[in-house]
Each structure stands twice: as structure tokens, then as C-alpha cells.
Amino acid sequence: MKKLLSGLFISVCLMAFSSLFAQMPEQMIKIIVSPDHDDWQYRTGEKADFTVQVFFHQNPLKGVKAYYEIGPEKMDPVKKDSVVLNGKPLTLDGGTMSTPGFLRCIVTVDYEGRRYRGLATAGFSPETIKPTVKYPEDFRAFWESAKEELEKVPMNPRMTLMPERCTENTSVYHVSLQNIGNSRIYGILSIPRKEGKYPAVLEVPGAGVRGYSPDLNLAERGVITFVIGIHGIPVNLDPGVYFDLGSGGLREYWTNNMDNRDRYYYKRVYLGCVRANDFLVSLPQYDGSGLAVTGGSQGGALSIITASLDQRVKYLASFYPALCDVTGYLSGRAGGWPHFFDRNNVKFHNLKEKLETIPYYDVVNFAREIKATGNYSWGFNDETCPPTSMYAAYNVINAPKSLHLALETGHWTFQEQNILMQNWLVEMLKK
């Protein structure tokens, strides 16, 4: 009976952890696009072919037209055509790339009034991709000065017990802390109830405006967790409040004051993550040495940034980081989310003042400075955070690092990725 309960508990915990990241839904029509190299990787100048298979009720679909386009990710296709499916695998000549990057094949099928889509992305010498964003001479001085500004602000923590969220083994609190500019940062803290000292994990959020839940999974495994929001508002409000803010005052917050490096929205956010760590290390239950940060997308970016800014962080786990090499589009290749300079946004942001601000906030330049041991994970099919941009940041990291590729994933994760990352965090923190 104990083994059964333990198994059920672990399953529930893993489901909770995986819910932090998007999951890919199943569809009736499945379009499978496969590069002809098992690892989806090629040398520059090497030819890549793509095999396309379309299934309905797990059988090959016939007599329907498939449309395809092939080209560098996020760029205009260099090849575009259609073919009627005959029930056999279709092989497409993808060509090659002469410079390091990613070549994407997208296939669409219209069936019974609905459009289905599949893709695969071949990487060409991705380990040699170099960033396009500039490194300011005063980058380090700018952020040291910002951290000194933060140090002058009292933390003034406010903790409110959330009885409805507590468990037999974990106490849960809604927390707010004083941040720069008379703002506050809010989050959900989970602390193991058993007397003792514990490592801690800061969990930083993906983009958007929402409330947050405690990470009881890690807490039940003997880790203090602090799940934070970034917008200076409580994280336990009615969902309608977040919807209204996300559609109104906080819509496209990532562009707020982008023309001024001292007033840009993310300055308060980045420093707020450091302030969250100030709080974690001040807790009497903290073990004094084991501190990690984790997140996906915007949270993947904030994980790298926080670990770079705060030498107390020993480990970071980052899924598909955003905000990497965002100037890539200005050099004719994909840039990172939020795609400031793609064809839809370039006319609004390709301005001198904004171009001067960007280098102080791009993940690439924080990655150059990082010392923490990192575990990273993403897929080649990510259209939100293009792999070109993520490799541009990963390749400049000189600290110990490992990359777990889930090749076919887009901006989502398999449960296996989440389990591996969580187990890695626990193992590192409890060495």
C-alpha cells in the first residue's frame, strides 16, 4: 500500500511540474516531417533531404494535396510547391546552408475544412553559430551599478500563510518583497515543514500576465521553492484581473521604455529576480549553499540572466530561453523572442535609442558572464524561440554546461524533459 501511495504521489508531482511548461496536443491528421540525419544536424554545405508522411487514423493519407515550403527558419522560403499524396513517403530536396543556422521544412494539408501543419528543422553546424548582438564596453559596470541601487532598497518582506495551499509536509506562503522604484515583487513560497536546512530553487516565469501556484513537487522532495511573477502585482488574484491587465496596461510590456536603458521594463524585472534570491538566502531554513534558478521561454532567459547577475546561484536549468540575440533579423537570420526586428516589428523598433538599449538586456551578453553550472533543453522546431538565437547564447557560455535536445519539440516540452531536468536539479542541490 505504501508503494502504491508513493507511486501515486510521484505521478501527481510530476504532472504538477510538467504543467509549468506547454504540452503539445494530439491531432487527427498527423504530418511527420523527418530530416535524413538521425540527429537532424549537418555540416555547412552538406545536402539535407526531408521525408514527409501524412497519416489519418494511423494510415497513410491519399489523394490530398500537401503544400510545402523550405527555407531558413523565420525567413522567406527559398522553395515552395505542392504535391498530391499517394500514400507513400514523400522525399523533398532541402538543399543546404553555406553559413551556420537552421533550415526548416513546413508542410500543410487541408482536410475536411481544417488546416493541419507539420515541420522539421535541420541544423547546420549549430555549435559554430555566433551572436550578432553587440557587447557594450560598460555592460558589467551598468549592472553592477544597478545591483548597488537594489542593495540600498530594504527587502521589507511580507509573508501570508495560504492554508488552502499547504500540505501535510509543506507550508505555503504568498510573499511580496520591496524592489527598485517603489515597486514590489510577488511570489509563492513553499517550505518543507520538517525541521532542517534545505537548498532552494527560484522559479522564474514565462511571458504573459497570470497568477501562479506553488511548486509542491520539489518542496516535497526537500527543496525550498519560490515561484515568482514579474509584474509587481500579487500572483493570487482572480484570473480576470490578469486577463484585463494583459489586454490593457501590460500588453506588450516587453516594449515598455525600450528606448531608455535605465527605464526599460526588464531592468526592474532582472533586479527583481536578484531580490527574490536575497529573500531565499535570508530564510532560516535555507542550507546556505544550494541555490538554483529555473524556467522556460522568458523564464529560460531569466534563469540565465539571474545566474549571471547573482554569483550565489550555483545551478541553472533553462528551457528554450527567449530574449537571445534579438538583433539576428538585422543580419538576415532569425532573432529571439519577442522578435523586435522581424518583418512585422522592425519599423517600430529599428531605432537608434532602442538599438542602444537592447545589448544591455540580451541574454547573449549575460551568457558571456555566467559562472553557474547549467543544464539546457530545447528542440529544433521552436518557432517562438528560434534555435539559431538560442545557440547564439549557448555557444558563448564558458561555464560547465550540458544541452538536452528534444529535436522534434517546438515551444513545448515532453514530460520526460521535465522529469530529467527536475531530477538533475535535485541531484545537484543535494550533492
Q: What is the tens place of the pLDDT at every residue in 341-392?
A: 999 999 999 999 999 999 999 999 999 999 999 999 999 999 999 999 999 9
Pick the catalytic residue: 215, 310, 362, 382? 382
Q: Which fold has domain 29-128?
A: Immunoglobulin-like (2.60.40)
**CA pair distance 245, 98, nearest whole angstrom:** 45
The whole-number pLDDT of residue 26 equals 77
DSSP 24: P
Residue matched to cell numbers 489523394: 63
The whole-number pLDDT of residue 56 equals 94
Residue matched to cell numbers 539571474: 306
Pick the catalytic residue: 297, 303, 318, 377? 297
DSSP sequence for 119-185: EEEEEESGGG----S---TTHHHHHHHHHHHHHTS----EEEE-TTT--SSEEEEEEEEE-GGG-EE
Q: Parallel, antiparallel, or unpaired: how do β-strands 315-319 and 286-296 relate? A: parallel
HSE-CB of 308 using CA atoms within 13 angstroms: 27
User: Is residue 377 among the annotated active site residues?
Assistant: no
Kindly report the CATH class assigned to 139-429: alpha beta
Residue numbers in the chain where pLDDT is lower than 70: 1-25
Side chain identity, residue 232? G
Q: In what order do the strands lie in the sheet with 114-124?
A: 41-42, 114-124, 101-111, 62-72, 79-86
Neighbours of 8 (CB within 10 A): 10
Pick the catalytic residue: 174, 339, 349, 411? 411
Contacts of 309 (CB under 8 A, 6+ apart): 143, 147, 270, 273, 274, 366
Q: Parallel, antiparallel, or unpaired: how do β-strands 59-60 and 62-72 relate? A: unpaired
User: Is residue 297 among the annotated active site residues?
Assistant: yes
Q: Parallel, antiparallel, or unpaired: how do β-strands 286-296 and 198-203 relate? A: parallel
Residue matched to cell numbers 500588453: 251
Helix (H, G, I), strand (E, B) or coil at 95: strand
Question: Where are the chain's structural domains?
Answer: 29-128, 139-429
Neighbours of 96 (CB within 10 A): 15
The whole-number pLDDT of residue 12 equals 38
The whole-number pLDDT of residue 296 equals 98
3-state per-residue secondary structure call for 189-209:
EEEECCCCCEEEEEECCCCCC
**CA pair distance 317, 208, nearest whole angstrom:** 20
Neighbours of 349 (CB within 10 A): 22
Q: Is the dihedral of CA 142, 144, 145, 150 positive or negative?
A: positive
Q: pTM of this prediction? A: 0.93
The whole-number pLDDT of residue 22 equals 60
**CA pair distance 48, 324, nearest whole angstrom:** 26
The whole-number pLDDT of residue 431 equals 84
